Homo-oligomer: A and B are copies of this chain.
């Protein structure tokens, strides 16, 4: 027989089953918070990875090849592969997305209820926080440079040319930030839940 503890948050560890214990521990069911947050993480990292993965824009700009010569139309391309920061951001979101899917599948199957898997989930959740936030920091820095440039280093802004590409990067960054916050909440709720359960 299972009954959920009513007294607070349940992170990865989930609510406490008050019933019989098989392995000397009270078995734990997976909480609704856990499922919802992993779903949010899955959806946001998937959207962020897809948006940044397919982001590409080609524009034709006029370039004067010599000071006295005529200007010529030249196609210029912006794509994710041209920036190691965006590639890192993409890889980080793909890893987080795959892990979100795996942990969500296991959580919903309740296979973690009588094992050390909740602990393992929390450990990987922290790694996801570190991975996603470093990816967000990297992508945001490159995106801001694209939007504003850096006059001190004579790095010119490019978002006045590649508006659509920059918009895609901004969308991916915001969506990925939501996924990152979902993982922060997963770790937070796991700690709060464990803290309430500890004697």
Q: A interface vs B, CB < 8 Å?
A: 13, 25-26, 78, 82-85, 88, 116, 118-119, 122-123, 126-127, 129-131, 133-138, 140-142, 144-146, 150, 152-156, 158, 180, 184, 187-188, 190-192, 194-195, 197-199
Whole-angstrom distance between the Cβ of A198 and the nearest chain B Cβ: 4
A and B contact pairs by CB, cutoff 8 A, 22 listed? A82-B152, A83-B150, A85-B144, A123-B188, A126-B126, A126-B184, A126-B187, A133-B133, A133-B134, A133-B137, A134-B134, A134-B140, A137-B137, A137-B138, A138-B138, A141-B141, A141-B142, A155-B155, A155-B156, A187-B187, A194-B197, A197-B199
Q: Is A82 touching B150 in the complex (CB atoms < 8 A)?
A: yes
Please state if B25 and A123 are interface contacts (CB–CB under 8 Å): no
Min C-beta distance of A97 to chain B, whole Å: 18
Give the number of times this chain occurs in the complex, counting copies.
2
Instruction: Please tell me if the beta carbons of B191 and A26 are within 8 angstroms of each other in the complex.
Output: no
How far in angstroms is the closest Cβ of chain B from A182?
A: 12
> Bound state CA distance, A153 and B126, in angstroms?
35
Contact present for B83 and A119 (CB under 8 Å) = no
Measured CB to CB, the nearest residue on chain B to A11 is: B191
Instruction: Tell me the bound Cα distance from A188 to B123 in angstroms.
Output: 6
A74 to B: closest C-beta gap in Å? 13
Q: How far, in angstroms, from A78 to B131 measured CA to CA in the complex? A: 29
